[in-house]
Amino acid sequence: MSPEAVLDPARTNIDGPREGDVIVTDNLWKTYEMGDQQVHALRGVNLRIRHNEYVAIMGPSGSGKSTLMNLIGCLDSPSQGKYWLNGHDVSQLNDDQLARIRNKEIGFVFQTFNLLARATSLHNVELPLIYNGTPAAERIARAKDVLESVNLGSRMMHKPNELSGGQRQRVAIARALVNRPSIILADEPTGNLDSKTGDEIMALFDDLHAKGNTIVLVTHEPDIAEYAHRVVTIRDGVIASDHVSSRMLNKQDSDKHTKSKQN
């Protein structure tokens, strides 16, 4: 199948973003060249995510979840297709332009935390502000604020190896938040944590969602996906299903129930 082929014409996003859309992809392909072999990691992804949605992406290992997250997080560019972030077509931008947009609009959280081993929590969280030239006093004040907001006020001078896994992930979340992005992307944020710590991290994502952020997270765990309001499943580089989570369905049911009781 060629990259120009569209699997389901009814589901194309060729008309681009509408008001309130933050992430729109149209027929997105990513092909990795491995010597004389081509690996089609994504084969025509059409996705539309609106402001303040809370989306979980699931799917088997190798189905293209991280590849998709890297594209929507502006860490990489597509081989074919279009991507509009907050209404702007970013599919053709070069690495420097992508980095600038990423720094402003997106907070990225990884499974393995990706912290600087020799730096304190405070310094790790300050880093994105160093890259964009924020003056030192403001940098430190903002890094402290955001560390306090994830309950790490007492661990600012600890290095990653002096923290628990959950605390490390909270430092990584603080680092993702310090530029006040509207979109939070997380690739298996609870993958290296036990289930209780995972639930604590998910409670933080719940708070961020309640504050108006758009959240997209990849997970293998159905329990974690249930925190989201919408679950998108990827198989072999295409979207295989896309539906409202049971948590959301239950909430809609109980809202209906309360309403009918009131009437």
Ligand X SMILES: Nc1ncnc2c1ncn2[C@@H]1O[C@H](COP(=O)(O)OP(=O)(O)OP(=O)(O)O)[C@@H](O)[C@H]1O
- Residue ranges in contact with ligand X by CB under 6 A: 32, 34, 39, 41, 59, 61-67
Q: Which is nearer to ligand X, 112 or 254 (CB)?
A: 112
Using only C-alpha atoms, the chain has a radius of gyration, in whole angstroms, of: 19
DSSP string, the chain: --TT--S-GGG--TT---TTEEEEEEEEEEEEEETTEEEEEEEEEEEEEETT-EEEEE--TTSSHHHHHHHHTTSS--SEEEEEETTEE-TT--HHHHHHHHHHHEEEEETT----TTS-HHHHHHHHHHHTT--HHHHHHHHHHHHHHTT-GGGTT--GGGS-HHHHHHHHHHHHHTT--SEEEEESTTTTS-HHHHHHHHHHHHHHHHTT-EEEEE-S-HHHHTTSSEEEEEETTEEEEEEE-HHHHHHHHHHHHHHHHH-
Which of Mg ion, ligand X, none interacts with 67 (beta carbon under 5 to 8 A by kind)? ligand X
Least separation in angstroms between CB 20 and Mg ion: 29
Which of ligand X, Mg ion, none interacts with 222 (beta carbon under 5 to 8 A by kind)? none
Q: Which is nearer to ligand X, 27 or 66 (CB)?
A: 66
Least separation in angstroms between CB 54 and Mg ion: 20
Beta bridge partners of 216: 55, 185
Q: Return the residues of window 162-201 that contact Mg ion according to CB under 5 A.
A: none
Q: Which is nearer to ligand X, 17 or 44 (CB)?
A: 44
Q: Which is nearer to Mg ion, 112 or 250 (CB)?
A: 112
Q: Return the residues of window 41-100 that contact Mg ion according to CB under 5 A.
A: 66
Least separation in angstroms between CB 29 and ligand X: 12
Which of ligand X, Mg ion, none interacts with 63 (beta carbon under 5 to 8 A by kind)? ligand X
Closest residue (Cβ) to Mg ion? 66
Least separation in angstroms between CB 60 and ligand X: 7
Q: Which is nearer to ligand X, 63 or 120 (CB)?
A: 63
Least separation in angstroms between CB 188 and ligand X: 7
Contact residues for Mg ion, defined by CB under 5 A = 66
